[in-house]
């Protein structure tokens, strides 16, 4: 019986071998190999990214700062809506100018220093700006000038040199064409000054030294001296500030005249904390101060008397 079975299998199977827990069968009729495994499949190995402790701390601080700013922005919006409701205004159309007016009305202050007076501003204007994350989780920097330590400053210097080179190229083109620069298009820089060091640091969100600031001024002056610097007018005036701020013109009230022919001006509803008063100034006057038909001794304290004397002067 066994001989008959072997006679049947031998023509169809050329070779059977057991190797490395696998049965490999090679058929003589089909010439194909089939593999059957008896061991369980191996799980795929997941590559875990190694993040240093310094990078984790850096990303954690950046995340905490972002969450802090989001919380402050939410509180500012809530306070803004409450302030609008207190003033009887629509919270959706309540602007920052309305906020300043409401704070001045609800919290009157006689402090001379404006920075010491109460105010309500967006968190972006109150809290100092902070750089966003400059690296990813693997430590790869985003900025191509990361190795300088002050990438934003050196990127600015790089942009200035680009504008200088563009002005040189345009000047060479005009010379080949035989065209001279138009003096009427020259930049008018009078009445302006360069941004100070503190403003430049605030814009770049980086600290710079005195020598770096001097190099910035010298490079910008070199750009302004070129005959075709007007082509970079927007870039130049981005760092030029006016010497005097334009203020709204104040229309002084016109004087009136009494029966004796003396000129006088009366201002109604002068506010001073909870006090309300009408002030009348006459010309020519006697130099005397009358308050509710009394002299300056109407005020018992010395401070109101001094304040009244200063206002009168």
Among 44-48, 57-61, 75-79, where is mean pLDDT lowest? Answer: 44-48
Residue 58 lies in a domain: no
Query: In a 3-state reduction of DSSP, which class is residue 138?
Result: coil
Q: Is the pLDDT of residue 283 over 60?
A: yes
Question: Which residues are CB-neighbours of 283 under 8 A, at least 6 positions away?
Answer: 255, 262, 263, 264
For residue 258, the tally of other CB atoms under 10 A from its CB is 9
Inside any domain, residue 104 = yes
Instruction: Please tell me whether residues 160 and 183 are part of one structural domain.
Output: yes
Same-domain pairing of 266 and 220: no
- Any domain includes 183: yes
Cβ atoms of 183 and 230 closer than 8 Å: no
pLDDT tens digits, residue range 126-144?
A: 877 666 666 666 667 777 8
What are the Cα distances from residue 258, in Å, to 255, 266, 268, 280, 282?
A: 10, 12, 17, 12, 10
**238 and 181, same domain (yes or no):** yes
Q: Is 172 inside any structural domain? A: yes
β-pair type (33-37, 192-194) = unpaired
pLDDT at 156: 94
235 φ, ψ to 5°?
-70, -40
* C-alpha span between 24 and 15 (Å, rounded): 8
State the pTM of this model: 0.47
What is d(CA 126, CA 115) in angstroms, rounded to the nearest whole number?
12
Give the Cα separation of 130 and 197 in Å (integer).
Answer: 18
Question: Looking at residue 25, what is its pLDDT?
Answer: 47
The answer to the question of residue 135 being in a domain is: no
CA distance linking residue 16 with residue 122, whole number of Å? 82
Return d(Cα 157, Cα 218) in angstroms, integer: 11
Annotate 17-66 with three-state secondary structure. Answer: EEECCEEEEEECCCCCEEEEECCCCCCCCCCCCCCCHHHHHHHHHHHHHH
Tens-place pLDDT, residues 159-192: 999 999 999 999 999 999 999 888 888 888 888 8
What is the DSSP code string of 201-268?
A: HHHHTS---HHHHHHHHHHHHHHHTSTTGGGGHHHHHTTEEESS---PPP-PPPPEE-TTS-EEEEEE
Q: Are residue 42 and residue 72 in the same domain, yes or no?
A: no
Give the pLDDT confidence of 197-218 residue by residue, as tens digits. Answer: 988 988 888 888 999 999 999 9
Q: Looking at the domain assignment, is residue 313 inside a domain? A: no
Q: Is the per-residue pLDDT at 308 higher than 90?
A: no
Given a contact cutoff of 8 angstroms between Cβ atoms, the answer to whether 80 and 99 are in contact is yes
Q: How far is 277 from 271, CA to CA, in rounded Å?
A: 7
Distance, CA of 293 to CA of 279 (rounded, Å): 13
Measured between alpha carbons, how far is 167 from 226 in angstroms, rounded to an integer?
7
- Same-domain pairing of 152 and 229: yes
Whether 123 shows a pLDDT value over 60: the answer reads yes
> DSSP code of 114?
G
Instruction: Pull the structure tokens for residue 207.
Output: 């600290």
Is there a domain that residue 281 lies in? yes
> Do 189 and 211 share a domain, yes or no?
yes
Domain that holds residue 99: 63-126
Question: Rounded CA gap, 128 and 205, in Å?
Answer: 9
- Give residue 29's pLDDT: 45
In the chain, the number of structural domains is 4
At residue 10, the pLDDT reads 52
In a domain, 197, yes or no: yes
Pair 19, 101 in one domain: no
Query: Based on the domain organization, do 238 and 150 belong to the same domain?
Result: yes
Does residue 181 sit in the same domain as residue 226? yes
């Amino acid at each position: 019986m066994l001989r008959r079975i072997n006679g049947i299998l031998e023509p169809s199977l050329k070779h059977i071998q057991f190797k490395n827990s696998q049965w490999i069968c090679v058929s003589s009729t089909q010439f194909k190999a089939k593999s059957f495994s008896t061991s369980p499949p191996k799980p795929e190995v997941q590559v875990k990214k190694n993040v240093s402790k310094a990078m984790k701390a850096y990303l954690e601080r950046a995340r905490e700062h972002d969450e802090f700013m989001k919380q402050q922005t939410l509180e500012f919006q809530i306070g803004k809506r409450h302030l609008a409701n207190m003033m009887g205004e629509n919270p959706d159309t309540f602007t920052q100018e309305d906020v300043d007016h409401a704070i001045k009305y609800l919290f009157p202050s006689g402090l001379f220093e404006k920075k010491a007076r109460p105010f309500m501003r967006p968190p972006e204007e109150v809290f100092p700006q902070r750089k966003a994350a400059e690296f990813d989780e693997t430590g790869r920097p985003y900025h191509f000038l990361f190795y300088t330590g002050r990438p934003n400053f050196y990127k600015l210097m790089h942009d200035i040199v680009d504008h200088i080179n563009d002005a040189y190229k345009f000047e060479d083109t005009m010379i080949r064409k035989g065209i001279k620069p138009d003096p009427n298009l020259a930049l008018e820089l009078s009445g302006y000054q360069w941004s100070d060091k503190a403003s430049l640091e605030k814009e770049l969100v980086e600290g710079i030294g005195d020598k770096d600031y001097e190099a910035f001024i010298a490079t910008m002056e070199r750009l302004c001296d070129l005959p075709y610097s007007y082509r970079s007018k927007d870039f130049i005036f981005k760092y030029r500030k006016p010497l005097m701020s334009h203020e709204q013109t104040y229309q002084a009230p016109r004087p009136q005249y009494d029966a004796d022919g003396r000129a006088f001006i009366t201002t109604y509803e002068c506010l001073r904390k909870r006090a309300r008063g009408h002030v009348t100034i006459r010309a020519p006057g006697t130099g005397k101060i009358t308050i509710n038909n009394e002299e300056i001794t109407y005020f018992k304290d010395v401070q109101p008397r001094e304040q009244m004397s200063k206002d009168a002067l």
